[in-house]
Structure 1
Amino acid sequence: MRASFDLTGKVALLTGASRGMGLAMATSLADHGARVVISARKADQLEAAREQIEAEVPGAQVFAVAANVGYRDQLEALVAQCHALAGPVDILVGNAGVNPYYGKTSEIPDAAYDKTMSANVQSNLWLAQLVAPDMAGRGGGSMIFTSSIGAFKPSEMLGTYGMSKLALIGLVRNLAMEFGPRGIRVNAICPGLIRTEFARELWDNPEVENRIQGEIPLRRLGEPEDLAGIVVYLASDAGRYMTGQALTVCGGSNMWA
């Protein structure tokens, strides 16, 4: 059974992987044998992430390629460089996301709305289109996209972000149906409140302790490492019959969603 989680010989491409959840997932995939290509916007942060993974996983094969997911041409270049450095893609983790606007959905500026939907939804469709031929040519593969528990409920201040993550789940379901006959699995991971820089405004305040006590059955915030296991499960043969799903990793806060 342990062999079901072995990713030796597989190539994993991750966006939003220079820190936080993306870095934790990349490290876990490398630890299970995958050759890993990590991407984010800032080259210096990527290089630091690459060095960290190599320090934590002796012998890991890790490559860093800077790209902005908001631009299709940069994603095309990213996939091309992945091919050159590591080979065809077996595992895609679309983890990059943005939240440029904090406020009412009814008042969001057009530019902020477009940026949110482009980065959180459109970019993942582009990535899927770009790597699907790799996976089909190798008899199958796994696409994993980071959604959010914000997809399951309205919010006065984070509503548009939640909308984009719900749209991403819709994308996942449709891609799962379309790509399934080619052996390609597509799933979403929906984290709860995770202690990352991206979510700092949500957890770095005095009210969080009350929220933890009242809303999270496990009585703690999530940590980036809490995503390490599920990404390996979805990427590997252990999850070979799992597709089209949105799996919550939230300490129980959304078990009734």
Structure 2
Amino acid sequence: MELSFTDRTYLITGGGSGIGLGVAAGLARAGAHVLVVGRNSDRLSAAAEQINSDAAARVRPYPADVTDEEQVANAVEAATAWNGRLHGVVHCAGGSETIGPVTQIDSAAWRRTVDLNVNGAMYVLKHSARQMVRAGGGSFVGISSIAASNVHRWFGAYGVTKSALDHLIMLAADELGPSWVRVNGIRPGLIRTDLVQVILDSPEVSEDYRQCTPLPRVGEVTDVANMAMFLLSDAAGWVTGQVINVDGGHGLRRGPDMSAMLEPVFGPDGLRGVV
């Protein structure tokens, strides 16, 4: 099976590092034009330069904050204007500012995480879908998390907001199908990125992940990028409304036990809600 992206144009949010960078690099090497979006302009420029050294200047950086709807609309317009059409989006931008027991969550940090993971996803989907509908179709891929389906104790707003993203994906797929816009999601498990290095550095927590994962290795960025590229491609032309785990089978078991990392911070009583 060959996945052709030659002369197609894609927008990748969170494209300066991690999964977003991996998807952008894969698409560029396959002949696509890629606009990478993120808040850190220096990181974006470095990512574009890194990819373009192997992919004939097919990547452009576009600094924007996905929690600002006007900035999102402008980024989508820039991607569309590049070659006259937007073929697809991979929405990787996300994160969390909350971790710890629900009784100790910082409410302002909770709201910022909801704004990033839920509102930001809606803005990107809203404006990119308009362009893809006008063009006669396209593909949107949202990067969710195994934390959306398997409870991760003390993860605060992260799993909650990724569950909201999963529902948004299904809602949009149902609404946009008649316009040939496909909408799917990916739930990564533990993927080797800078963001999860603290987990990999913890012998207790990384061992618990190993016990929860049937395939005995840590996931790599390319594992998720390969699935994203499939969902963007014509090979997935009859796939929509799906949220697919790329997690080594972790979703079959349970969420990780983070107590070894968090008990020293909150104490055993704190982890059960005592304030």
CA contact (8 A) 1:37 1:86 kept: no
Q: Which TM-score applies when normalising by structure 1?
A: 0.93
Partner of 1:70: 67
CA distance in structure 1 between the aligned counterparts of 2:16 and 2:208, rounded to whole angstroms: 29
Partner of 2:213: 216
Unmatched 5+ stretches in structure 2: 255-275
Q: Deviations over 1:22-50 (max 9, x none)?
A: 10011111122211000111111111100
Partner of 1:45: 43
Unmatched 5+ stretches in structure 1: none
Match of 2:144 among 132, 147, 152: 147
Query: Does the alignment pair 1:114 with 2:111?
Result: yes
Query: Does the alignment pair 1:16 with 2:14?
Result: yes
Instruction: Note the C-alpha offset of 1:225.
Output: 1.5
Deviates further, 202-211 or 107-116: 202-211
Deviates further, 72-81 or 162-171: 72-81
* CA pair 176-256 structure 1, distance change in 2 beyond 3 A: farther
Instruction: Note the C-alpha offset of 1:89.
Output: 1.5
Q: Aligned with 1:111: secondary structure?
A: helix
Partner of 1:125: 122
CA distance in structure 1 between the aligned counterparts of 2:187 and 2:57, rounded to whole angstroms: 27
Instruction: Note the C-alpha offset of 1:208.
Output: 4.2
CA contact (8 A) 1:216 1:252 kept: yes
Give the percent of matched residue pairs that are identical in Structure 1 and Structure 2.
36
CA contact (8 A) 2:6 2:31 kept: yes
Q: Structure 1 counterpart of 2:164, which letter?
A: A
Deviates further, 125-134 or 15-24: 125-134
Q: Structure 2 counterpart of 1:199, which letter?
A: V
Q: Deviations over 1:86-116 (max 9, x none)?
A: 4332111110002101112343232112111
Instruction: Note the C-alpha offset of 1:56.
Output: 3.0
Match of 2:203 among 199, 203, 206: 206
Partner of 2:263: none
CA contact (8 A) 1:142 1:185 kept: yes
Instruction: Note the C-alpha offset of 1:212.
Output: 4.5
Q: Structure 2 counterpart of 1:154, which letter?
A: V
* CA pair 88-110 structure 1, distance change in 2 beyond 3 A: farther
* CA pair 212-126 structure 1, distance change in 2 beyond 3 A: closer
Match of 1:225 among 213, 222, 226: 222
1:185-196 equivalences under 5 Å are: 185-196=182-193
Which structure has the bigger radius of gyration?
2
Instruction: Note the C-alpha offset of 1:60.
Output: 4.6
CA distance in structure 2 between the aligned counterparts of 1:38 and 1:143, rounded to whole angstroms: 15
Q: Number of aligned residue pairs: give it.
A: 254
CA contact (8 A) 1:149 1:248 kept: yes
Match of 2:241 among 234, 239, 244: 244
* CA pair 90-208 structure 1, distance change in 2 beyond 3 A: same
Q: Which TM-score applies when normalising by structure 2?
A: 0.87
Partner of 2:231: 234
Deviates further, 107-116 or 126-135: 107-116
CA distance in structure 1 between the aligned counterparts of 2:182 and 2:215, rounded to whole angstroms: 30
CA contact (8 A) 1:103 1:158 kept: yes
CA distance in structure 2 between the aligned counterparts of 1:151 and 1:209, rounded to whole angstroms: 20
CA distance in structure 1 between the aligned counterparts of 2:91 and 2:209, rounded to whole angstroms: 28
CA distance in structure 2 between the aligned counterparts of 1:207 and 1:56, rounded to whole angstroms: 39
Deviates further, 142-151 or 203-212: 203-212
